Amino acid sequence: MVAVQSNPSSTTVATGAELVIESLESHGVETVFGIPGVHTLALYDALRNSSIRHVLARHEQGAGFMADGYARATGKPGVAVVITGPGVTNIATAVGEAYTDSSPVLVISSNVESPYLDDMRGNLHDLKDQMAVMKAVTKWNARVTAAHEAPGILNEAFERLTSGRPLPVHVEIPLDVLDQPESADRLPREPFIVVPEPSEEKIERAAALLAGAQRPLIYAGGGAISSGAAPYIRQLAERLNAPVLTSIMGKGAIPEDHPLSLGALWSAGNAVDDYLKQADTVIVIGSKLGAQATDMFQMVLPDNLIRIDIDPREMHLNTQPYMPLLGDAALVSERLVAALSDTVALAGIDQTSEVVEVRKAAEETAWFAERRAYVDALRRALPRDGILSTDMTMMSYVACGVYPVYEPRTFFFPSGFGTLGFAVPAAIGAKIARPEAKVVAIVGDGGFQYTMEELGCAVQERLSLPIVIFDDSTYSAVKHAQHQERGGRYLAVDLVNPDYVKLAEAYSIPGVRAHSPEELEREIGLAFERELPTIIVVPIESWV
C-alpha cells in the first residue's frame, strides 16, 4: 500500500462559495465549464476573484461533455458548475456518459436554501431529490450543510476523483451555505489516498506465467489509457513478443501501426477472434470486458488469464481471472516489465508476421470498411497526436475499427452511454485543455442537432476547431437497424435539416462542403489555420 498525502492549511474569513472556489484552486483546477443563474451568484462572485477560467456553455449538457472532454484529453478532473434543478438534470446525461466511460468529472451545483431542501415548497428550481438524481450517475456525491465543511468535502471529492477507477462525483451546496461566512480552518482534513498494489510474490508468479507462455496476448481497455500504462504495455508487448488487442476505449494503448498491434479489431467470428482463441495466456489490462466490447460475452479467453484492474468490482466482473492483480494498471504493468527483465528466458514464439496477416484480414471484414476513405482522410489530416472526438454516427463506428490511434487520449467515443451530441462539446473541452493540439469533431447530421448550440461557445472562445458533419439527412444507425432487424419497416428516421453552411454564416464563421475524402482532408487543413471553428459538411450517400 502506498499512501499519498497532501496539503497546507490557512485561516481567514470567507463564504462557503469562496471556500469552494479556493478549494478548486488548491487542487489545481484551471478551468470550469458552466452556466450561471441566480442560484450560483455567490460562486460566480468568487470565480471573478480567482485564477480560474470560466468557459460559458450554452446548455448544461454541453458543459458536462466539455468537462468530460477536458478530462479525457488530460487525465485531470474536468469541472462543471451548474444551478439547482434544471441545471442538474440537464448535466445528468453528460455525467452518465462520463460514468460509463470512466472519466473523472466533478459537478458543483447549488440547491435551494437549507430549510426547504427536498421539500418542494415552491422555491425556484425545486427538485424533489437532487442528490438522488446525481447519485444515479456518480461514484459519490455529497451535500455541504455548513460553510466550514466545504474544504473537507472538496478534498474528499478530489480524493475520490483521483483514486480508484476515475468516475464522476458531485458536490451540492445550498444557497444559504454559499453565502455563509466562515472563519474556521480552511482545510480541516488531510486527504489520504490508499492505492492498492499486488505483492512482489504475485507479480513474480504472474511474470513466470507470462514467461512460460508460448502465445501470450495483451488485451487493453480504457483503464490502460486513464492510468498512463501505454509505455509499459508497449514494453511488455515487445519483451514478450505478445500481440496487443484493445477495446475501443483502449485505442492508443499501443500505437496502432506497431507491428504487434491488432488494433481494436475483435469481433465474434473474425480473424482476430480466431487468433485470440489460439492464445494460451492473456493479460487483460484495465477492461471490464463489457457486453458491447465482447458482443454479449462471446469473447473466449484462456484459463491462464491475468487481470490487472484498480476496481475490485470490475476485477471479477464478466470473467473470473486465474490471477487477479489489483492495482493501478500503469504501476502493475511497469512492475511486470521489471520482473520480466532481460535475464528471464521466454518461451513465446515470434508472432509478428501472423499479426500482420490477421490484422489485414480483420480490417477487410470490419464494419462498413468499404466506406473507410473518409476515415483515412481524417487520419491523414490529423497529426499523430491530434485528437479525434467522435459521436454516435455511422462514420464513427467505421473509425472505431479502422482509424488507427497512435497515442493515448487522442480518440474519444461515447462508448458506454452512447449519447448523441457528445462529440462537439467534448472536442471543445479538449481544445481548451490542450490548445496546442489539433482537434477535430466528427458528428452525424442528427447528432449535431443535439448540442449544436455549443457552436456559440466555440465561437466565443475562438477555438480553431474543424467540425465535420456527415450529412445523410437520416438517423442512419437506426434506419440500418430497422433494415436488418425489422424487415425494413422504417419509422422516424428521416430528417429535414437546416443548411449547416448557412448556420456557420449566421455565426460569422466559415462553412464549407466537402464532396470527397480529398476535399475533406484539404478543408480540415485550412480550418486548422483559422482561429475560429469551421463547419465542414460532408454530404454522403445513404448507408441503407
Ligand X SMILES: Cc1ncc(C[n+]2csc(CCOP(=O)(O)OP(=O)(O)O)c2C)c(N)n1
Residue 472: count other Cβ atoms within 10 Å of its Cβ: 23
Nearest alpha-carbon partner for 90 in 99, 100, 80: 80
| Mask for 450-479, x = binds ligand X (CB under 6 A) | --------------------x-x-xxxxx-
Shortest distance in whole angstroms from residue 219 CB to ligand X = 26
The answer to whether the CB of 224 falls within 8 A of the CB of 286 is yes
Where in 472-501 is the site for Mg ion (CB under 5 A)? 472, 474, 476
Q: Which of 445, 454, 521, 523 binds Mg ion (CB under 5 A)?
A: 445
Binding range to Mg ion, per CB under 5 A, among 74-82, 156-164, 466-474, 520-528: 466-474
The answer to whether the CB of 26 falls within 8 A of the CB of 9 is no
Shortest distance in whole angstroms from residue 140 CB to ligand X = 25
- The helix/strand/coil state of 177 is helix
Quick check: 401 binds ligand X (CB under 6 A)?
A: no
Shortest distance in whole angstroms from residue 373 CB to Mg ion = 18
Closer residue to ligand X, CB minimum distance, 149 or 472: 472
Residue spans of beta strands (DSSP E) within 438-515 = 439-444, 466-471, 511-513
Binding range to ligand X, per CB under 6 A, among 29-37, 317-325, 390-398, 522-530: 390-398
Helix (H) or strand (E) holding 307: strand 305-309
| Mask for 241-270, x = binds ligand X (CB under 6 A) | ------------------------------
Residue 488: count other Cβ atoms within 10 Å of its Cβ: 10
Among all chains, which residue has been given the C-alpha cell 509499459? 232
Choose among ligand X, Mg ion, none what residue 394 binds, the Cβ cut-off being 5 to 8 Å by kind: ligand X
Nearest alpha-carbon partner for 471 in 395, 372, 378: 395
Tell me which residue has its CB nearest to ligand X. Answer: 444
Q: How many residues bind ligand X (CB under 6 A)?
A: 17
DSSP structural state of residue 370: G
Q: Which of 248, 394, 423, 512 binds ligand X (CB under 6 A)?
A: 394
Choose among ligand X, Mg ion, none what residue 287 binds, the Cβ cut-off being 5 to 8 Å by kind: none
Shortest distance in whole angstroms from residue 13 CB to ligand X = 45
The answer to whether the CB of 419 falls within 8 A of the CB of 501 is no
Q: In what order do the strands lie in the sheet with 305-309?
A: 244-246, 216-220, 281-285, 305-309, 323-326
| Mask for 409-438, x = binds ligand X (CB under 6 A) | ---------xxx------------------
Q: Which of 98, 213, 392, 402 binds ligand X (CB under 6 A)?
A: 392
Binding range to Mg ion, per CB under 5 A, among 55-63, 250-258, 374-382, 464-472: 464-472
Among all chains, which residue has been given the C-alpha cell 468499404? 370
Quick check: 444 binds ligand X (CB under 6 A)?
A: yes
Strands 192-195 and 466-471: unpaired
Closer residue to ligand X, CB minimum distance, 374 or 406: 374
The Cα angle at residue 102 between residues 224 and 441, in degrees rounded to 5:
90
Choose among ligand X, Mg ion, none what residue 419 binds, the Cβ cut-off being 5 to 8 Å by kind: ligand X
The answer to whether the CB of 79 falls within 8 A of the CB of 32 is yes
The answer to whether the CB of 101 falls within 8 A of the CB of 114 is no
Choose among Mg ion, ligand X, none what residue 477 binds, the Cβ cut-off being 5 to 8 Å by kind: ligand X
Quick check: 19 binds ligand X (CB under 6 A)?
A: no
Chain Cα centroid distance, residue 188 = 32
Strands 281-285 and 216-220: parallel
Nearest alpha-carbon partner for 20 in 240, 255, 178: 178
Choose among ligand X, Mg ion, none what residue 304 binds, the Cβ cut-off being 5 to 8 Å by kind: none
Strands 439-444 and 387-390: parallel
Binding range to ligand X, per CB under 6 A, among 57-65, 328-336, 339-347, 442-450: 442-450
Shortest distance in whole angstroms from residue 373 CB to ligand X = 16
Binding range to ligand X, per CB under 6 A, among 23-31, 227-235, 284-292, 387-395: 387-395
Bridge partners of 266, per DSSP, are: none
Choose among ligand X, Mg ion, none what residue 314 binds, the Cβ cut-off being 5 to 8 Å by kind: none
Shortest distance in whole angstroms from residue 466 CB to Mg ion = 18
All three cell numbers of 461:
472562445
Q: How many residues bind Mg ion (CB under 5 A)?
A: 6
Shortest distance in whole angstroms from residue 444 CB to Mg ion = 4
Q: Which residues of 12-30 are buried (b: 16+ CB within 10 A; e: fewer)?
A: eebbbbbbbbbbbebbebe
Bridge partners of 309, per DSSP, are: 326
Choose among Mg ion, ligand X, none what residue 454 binds, the Cβ cut-off being 5 to 8 Å by kind: none
Interacting residues of 98 by C-beta distance below 8 A, sequence separation 6+: 64, 67, 68, 71, 78, 104, 105, 137, 167, 168
The Cα angle at residue 123 between residues 58 and 108, in degrees rounded to 5:
45
Shortest distance in whole angstroms from residue 484 CB to ligand X = 13
Shortest distance in whole angstroms from residue 366 CB to Mg ion = 20
Q: What are phi and psi of 24, to 5 degrees?
A: -60, -45
Shortest distance in whole angstroms from residue 483 CB to Mg ion = 14
Shortest distance in whole angstroms from residue 441 CB to Mg ion = 15
Bridge partners of 217, per DSSP, are: 282
Rounded Cα–Cα distance for residues 80 and 64 (Å)? 6
Binding range to Mg ion, per CB under 5 A, among 41-49, 190-198, 206-214, 439-447: 439-447
**Footprint of ligand X (CB under 6 A):** 392-394, 418-420, 444-447, 470, 472, 474-478
**Footprint of Mg ion (CB under 5 A):** 444-446, 472, 474, 476
